Amino acid sequence: MKYLKQSLSKILPIFIIPLLLLSGCVQTTDQTGTVKGSGIVITDFSSSRDYVEGKDRAVRIYMEVENQGGYATDKVLVCLIGSFGEISESMWKLEDNECQKIDRKLEAYDPTTDMPGGTARKAWTLKSPWVPYPQESDYTFTGRVYYFYRSMTSTKIKVYSESEIEAARQRGETLSSVEQQVKTISPIDITISAPTLLRAEDGYFTIRIQVSNVGGGIVFDHRKIDWNSETPPSLSIDDLNYIKLNITYPKNELDMTACETEIELKKGETRTISCDFEIKDPESITTWKSYPITVEAEYGYYVDRDLSITVKGKKGETAK
């Protein structure tokens, strides 16, 4: 996976609009378990009819997606998954490709103006299968959207001298080692934390990075699919549920001595990792010093929605 190598100064322009301060980031969950405002969301998955009688009856299935997150992406593939085929009269006939690429970039949601992100709508035409009269059969279809996304969280870690800690105590002030965080809204949420006080005299510090799958879907290796595919991508178990973090920090001032940057992250899971940093010149800190740290990830992601259509056999109809 080609992970981000740029410095924070190069990355920030991409995220200027779609960034939110951590304290102002509000996310809610809908009835499907998907966190609203967490990437590409399926806002509609419906059919023109949910009950048909007889074979070869036309049904339209619609899917609408919206970018409710903070990264603009042009890699979006929507797919209809079901029992399609021509080898049996008992199978649905699909008149369109199973997968259709969204042919334009879906812009990010803008929280500063509450401007919605980009939307797209696709449709499929199907013909109903033969069902023996007077039986009824229920058929489930899955709408799936595959997309490429990026997550980024940045903050500054403050390290204090013992004299500064004592002076703050005498003044009755409360010190904090983590400044306000800035992050993109995305299906993979990243939060940085540290102990309340980090002392320069220790010569090192540890941060904790919490990574949460909040999008209601599955992470996959975005390099392993064809974004122009006409059929659902074939992903192996090794292509799923892994994510790699890229951590940017001032290497002239810090050494990262230990950090688990590749983690397994399944649907709905949260993982917390620790990263150790050595301060190269702790004696130079006479009051306090802050170190900018950015954690990023880029990945593929997919979410599903289901619907059901009932077909009833029609009297007098045969399979042929």
Average confidence score pLDDT of the chain: 89
* Residue 73 near residue 149 (C-beta atoms within 8 A): yes
Are 121 and 211 in the same domain? no
Which amino acid belongs to residue 150?
A: R
Return the H-helix or E-strand segment holding 125.
Answer: strand 119-127
* Runs of H (alpha helix) within the chain: 8-15, 162-171
Tell me whether residue 125 is in a domain.
Answer: yes
Are 169 and 286 in the same domain? yes
Residues 6+ apart with CB under 8 A from 116: 66, 68, 109
Are 250 and 307 in the same domain? no
Question: Which is nearest to 189 in space by CA: 151, 237, 234, 158?
Answer: 151
Are 144 and 154 in the same domain? no
pLDDT tens by residue, 118-160: 999 999 999 999 999 999 999 999 999 999 999 999 999 999 9
Please state the rounded mean pLDDT for residues 5-19: 36
Work out how many domains the chain is built from and give that number: 2
Are 90 and 186 in the same domain? no
pLDDT tens by residue, 38-61: 899 999 999 999 999 999 999 999
Are 116 and 137 in the same domain? yes
Q: Structural domain of residue 75, as residue ranges?
A: 25-148+303-312
pLDDT tens by residue, 232-286: 999 999 999 999 999 999 999 999 999 999 999 999 999 999 999 999 999 999 9
Tell me whether residue 17 is in a domain.
Answer: no
pLDDT tens by residue, 198-240: 999 999 999 999 999 999 999 999 999 999 999 999 999 999 9
Which amino acid belongs to residue 103?
A: D
Tell me whether residue 198 is in a domain.
Answer: yes
Alpha-carbon distance of 160 to 192, in angstroms, equals 18
The CATH code of the domain that includes 251 is 2.60.40
The CATH code of the domain that includes 98 is 2.60.40.3880
Residues 26-58: b if buried by 16+ CB within 10 A, e if exposed: eeeeeeeebbbbbbbbbeebebeeeebbbbeee
